[in-house]
């Protein structure tokens, strides 16, 4: 497989994990998941993790996986690059795993004294990969190990922070996000 093919497959396979964060930013608001509760003198998660944002993120990831699955065969035929279809379990692992990773990251940010919106370099860019890939491996093992070869995983680890920084900068410039990270 060429590097370009690996990059296309990595991007395609990760789209259902990439889009939930952006959907959550657009849909966020309302009741925070932690209900305002604190642990010690700090919030458990903070106002940046809401039920509505989380639900919208997961639904957006699932919908995108369904959409990509409809077109996978045509895209593969047209490009000669064998992009995968998503099984329901794979889609759920990627979408829910991305949201869960983001929530766990906020939990860690609050424990380390960071206020809502504070940056945590490294964690901000890779939190959703760290949870979505293992969750997908658990929920859809056969699919996961078929698609996520070591080469694909390596590309994901390099590509994700670049995409994350770029999309968040765009969302910030458009006034959709409070901080550019």
- Taking the C-alpha atoms of residue 62 and residue 57, their distance in angstroms, rounded to an integer, is 9
Task: For Cα atoms 101, 116, 166, give the angle at the middle one, nearest 5 degrees.
Answer: 65
Near ligand CTP by CB under 6 A, which window of 47-55, 80-88, 135-143, 151-159? 47-55
CB 17 within 8 A of CB 98: yes
Nearer to ligand CTP, 58 or 140 (CB): 58
Using CB under 6 A as the binding rule, whether residue 102 contacts ligand CTP is answered as yes
Nearest-CB residue to K ion?
Answer: 102
Q: How far apart are alpha carbons 104 and 97 in whole angstroms? A: 10
Residue 160 contacts ligand CTP per CB under 6 A: no
109 contacts ligand CTP (rule: CB under 6 A): yes
Which of 8, 14, 28, 58 binds ligand CTP (CB under 6 A)? It is 28
Continuous segment of H or E residues that includes residue 39: strand 38-39
Residue 6 or residue 168: which is nearer to ligand CTP going by CB?
Answer: 168
Q: What DSSP character marks residue 43?
A: E
Q: How far is the CB of 141 from ligand CTP (least distance, A)?
A: 26
CA–CA separation, 26 and 11 (whole Å): 22
Decide: is 50 part of the binding site for ligand CTP (CB under 6 A).
Answer: yes
In the shown chain, the binding pattern of residues 101 to 120 toward K ion, with x for contact by CB under 5 A and - for none, equals -x------------------
Question: What DSSP string describes 98-123?
Answer: HHHHHHHHHHHHHHTTPPTT---TTH
Q: Which residues bind ligand CTP (CB under 6 A)?
A: 24-25, 28-29, 46, 48-50, 53-54, 99, 102-103, 106, 109, 116-118, 177
């Amino acid at each position: 497989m060429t590097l370009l093919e690996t990059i296309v497959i990595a991007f395609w396979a990760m789209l259902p994990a990439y889009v939930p964060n952006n959907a959550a930013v657009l849909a966020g608001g309302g009741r925070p998941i932690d209900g305002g509760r604190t642990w010690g003198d700090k919030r458990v998660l903070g106002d940046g993790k809401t039920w509505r944002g989380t639900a919208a993120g997961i639904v957006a990831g699932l919908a995108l996986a369904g959409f990509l699955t409809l077109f996978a065969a045509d895209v593969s035929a047209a490009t000669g690059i064998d992009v995968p279809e998503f099984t329901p379990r794979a889609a759920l692992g990627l979408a829910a795993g991305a949201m869960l990773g983001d929530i766990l990251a906020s939990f860690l940010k609050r424990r380390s004294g960071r206020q809502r919106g504070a940056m945590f370099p490294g964690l901000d860019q890779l939190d959703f990969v760290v949870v979505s890939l293992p969750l997908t491996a658990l929920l859809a093992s056969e699919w996961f190990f078929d698609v996520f070869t070591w080469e694909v995983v390596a590309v994901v680890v390099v590509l994700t922070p670049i995409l994350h920084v770029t999309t968040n900068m765009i969302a910030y410039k458009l006034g959709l996000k409070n901080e550019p990270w």
